[in-house]
Amino acid sequence: MPAATSARARAAAVEGIRISLESDPARGKEVPDSGPGSSSYVVELLPEETGGRGISVLNRYDVSLDAVLITCLVAGP
């Protein structure tokens, strides 16, 4: 897959996660969290979904604010 197409596929996959977090903020695997009143989750995208590289999206959901903060994107080989 050409680099530009692969980059678009990765961007589209991450954008899909961002959109899905609006309706399902607790999506993904729960991970240890340091803040009271919030929970952290990781959503893993396989290379097949991103056009080449696996991506992990780490986010924190705060119940009182009803808000999600994407804290980290990790792209693997």
Per-residue pLDDT of the chain (77 residues; tens, 9 = 90+): 566 777 888 889 889 999 999 999 989 999 998 788 889 999 999 998 888 889 999 999 998 999 999 999 898 87
Domain boundaries, the chain: 3-75
Report whether 42 contacts 31 (CB < 8 A).
Answer: yes
Report whether 46 contacts 38 (CB < 8 A).
Answer: no
Provide the pLDDT for residue 2.
Answer: 65
